[in-house]
């Protein structure tokens, strides 16, 4: 859960504002019906101007980051966003027209509508539909249930623990390269994968405009508690509980140190915290004692990682497939003609992204088995990387598309 009034405060406040403005519009409609015209005029004017402010400073930014910069034009959220944006633009233009018509003589006589009431009633109906679309965007972007990792609870815990160790490694490597921005990004990954979307510390912690969680949203610390509860009545329950308690303390220390890293402005000041996160995360995910593997060993269980079944990739002219497998893009570099569609297929049991080094496109999360499709219409060289397992500049999980004229 990323909201309400949690880590997506801007989205929360925008949603609340939209609902309040819709209520205000209907109150204004009531004023018109009861012949309280000055109150009606003032109410409708306030709403239209407030909405113009939200469009300029909130909605345009959100649309740009998700649809345009994110390169996301398919899927439920993107479809709702585009419909919401188009209808919202029409409604705002009509609203401004009505304000000018009510309050000024700026509208030439030939452009003045005759059936004023019909236009106003149509506008409030359209506005209601737009707010409903906004509620849909909010639900599917922030509240809709996400698919879990699959398998038993212990398997999910082991997968999260391994991911925490991996992202701590990535964070340490970024710090060693002198890249504070990337180190902070992986600190966000570590925290989100530990606390889960219901945790108080969950969110877009590096403030780059993208909430990134390598896990399934549950959180390793919550899976840890579930495993502890599941085996509490067994013969090894006490030992599992003791180990789980120690692992939990390690996770909390990792979160605390990672939060310090996220607040830093100088890498030299956070060397001890980076080392602490790397050491403790390695212990949590891969250690032989007082670790998640230790719990599995005590239970004499070695649950298999969930099987990944990739979506079917339809064959079509001018289409090239790039697999994301074993934490690499295959092929790593491709040369294509302008107009070629590239389908990125995630065959790993982990989330990946396809993010252009300069931000020209960004897939956001591509879950295991899912695909991301992008058509290259302009010639040029487009280096890209996975925000979870690589970095710009061709580091680790990275690739390149060369589009020929």
pLDDT of 214 reads 93
pLDDT of residue 1: 36
Question: What pLDDT score was predicted for residue 310?
Answer: 64
List all residues 6 or more positions away from 163 whose beta carbon is below 8 Å from its beta carbon.
189, 193, 214, 215, 285, 350
The model's pLDDT over 284-311, given as tens digits with 9 standing for 90+, comes to 999 989 999 999 988 887 665 556 666 6
Model confidence, pTM: 0.63
Residue 220 has pLDDT above 90, yes or no: yes
The reported pLDDT for the residue numbered 14 is 84
Condensed to tens digits (0 to 9), the pLDDT of residues 26-76 reads 999 999 999 998 999 999 999 999 999 988 888 877 776 656 654 455 567
The model's pLDDT over 344-379, given as tens digits with 9 standing for 90+, comes to 999 998 999 999 999 899 988 898 889 999 999 999
- φ/ψ of 380, rounded to 5, equals 145, 180
Q: Is 252 exposed, middle or buried (0-12, 13-18, 19+ CB in 10 A)?
A: middle
Q: Convert the pLDDT of each residue in 79-126 to its tens digit.
A: 888 899 899 999 999 999 999 988 888 888 888 888 888 988 999 999
Q: Which residue has the higher pLDDT, 23 or 236?
A: 23
Phi, psi torsion values for 365, nearest 5 degrees: -65, 130
Lowest-confidence range among 140-144, 183-187, 396-400?
Answer: 140-144
Is residue 388's pLDDT more than 70? yes
Which range has highest mean pLDDT (9-13, 14-18, 105-109, 390-394)?
Answer: 390-394
Mean of pLDDT over the chain: 87
3-state secondary structure the chain: CCCCCCCCHHHHHHHHHHHHHHHHHHHHHHHHHCCCHHHHHHHHHHHHHHHHHHHHHHHHHHHHHHHHCCCCCCCHHHHHHHHHHHHHHHHHHHHHHHHHHHHCCCCCHHHCCCCHHHHHHHHHHHHHHHHHHHHHHHHHHHHCCCCCCCCCHHHHHHHHHHHHHHHHHHHHHHHHCCCHHHHHHHHHHHHHHHHCCCCCCCCCCCCCCCCCCCCCCCCHHHHHHHHHHHCCCCCCHHHHHHHHHHHHHHHHHHHHHHHHHHHCCCHHHHHHHHHHHHHHHHHHHHCCCCCHHHHHHHCCCCCCCCCCCCCCCCCCCCEEEEEEECCEEECCEEEEECCEEEEEEECCCCCECCEECCCCCECCCECCCCEEEEEECCCEEEEEEEEEEEECCCEEEEEEEEEEC
pLDDT digits (tens, 9 = 90+) for 137-177: 888 776 765 444 444 889 899 999 999 999 999 999 999 99
Q: Which residue shows structure tokens 């990682």?
A: 305
Determine contact, residues 194/250, Cβ cutoff 8 Å. no
Report how far residue 292's alpha carbon sits from residue 171's, in angstroms, rounded to the nearest whole number.
21
């Amino acid at each position: 859960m990323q909201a309400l009034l949690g880590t997506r405060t801007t989205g929360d406040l925008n949603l609340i504002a939209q609902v309040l403005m819709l209520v205000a519009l209907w109150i204004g409609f009531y004023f018109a019906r009861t012949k309280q015209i000055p109150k009606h005029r003032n109410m409708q004017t306030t709403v239209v101007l407030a909405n113009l402010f939200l469009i300029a400073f909130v909605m345009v930014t959100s649309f740009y980051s998700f649809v345009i910069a994110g390169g996301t034009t398919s899927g439920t959220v993107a479809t709702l966003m585009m419909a919401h944006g188009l209808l919202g633009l029409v409604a705002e233009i009509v609203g401004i027209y009505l304000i000018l018509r009510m309050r000024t003589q700026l509208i030439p006589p030939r452009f003045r509508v005759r059936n004023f009431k019909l236009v106003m009633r149509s506008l409030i109906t359209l506005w209601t539909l737009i707010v409903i679309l906004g509620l849909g965007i909010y639900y599917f972007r922030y509240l809709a249930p996400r698919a879990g990792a699959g398998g038993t609870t212990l398997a999910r815990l082991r997968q999260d623990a391994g991911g925490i160790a991996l992202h701590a490694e990535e964070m340490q490597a970024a710090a060693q390269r002198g890249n504070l921005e990337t180190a902070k990004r992986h600190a966000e990954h570590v925290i989100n994968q530990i606390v889960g979307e219901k945790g108080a510390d969950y969110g877009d912690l590096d403030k780059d405009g993208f909430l990134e969680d390598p896990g399934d949203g549950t959180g390793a610390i919550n899976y840890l508690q579930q495993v502890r509860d599941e085996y509490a009545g067994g013969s090894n329950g006490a030992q599992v509980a003791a180990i789980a308690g120690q692992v939990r303390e390690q996770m909390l220390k990792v979160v605390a140190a990672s939060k310090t890293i996220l607040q830093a402005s100088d890498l030299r000041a956070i060397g001890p915290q980076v080392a602490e996160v790397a050491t403790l995360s390695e212990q949590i995910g891969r250690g032989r004692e007082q670790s998640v593997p230790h719990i599995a060993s005590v239970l004499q269980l070695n649950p298999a990682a969930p099987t990944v079944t990739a979506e079917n990739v339809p064959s079509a002219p001018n289409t090239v497939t790039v697999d994301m497998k074993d934490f690499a893009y295959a092929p790593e570099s491709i040369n294509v003609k302008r107009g070629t569609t590239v389908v990125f297929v995630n065959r790993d049991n982990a989330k990946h992204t396809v993010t252009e080094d300069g931000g020209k496109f960004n897939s956001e999360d591509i879950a295991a088995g899912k695909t991301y499709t992008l058509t290259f219409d302009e010639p040029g060289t487009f280096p890209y990387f996975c925000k979870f397992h690589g970095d710009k500049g061709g580091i680790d999980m990275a690739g390149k598309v060369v589009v020929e004229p």
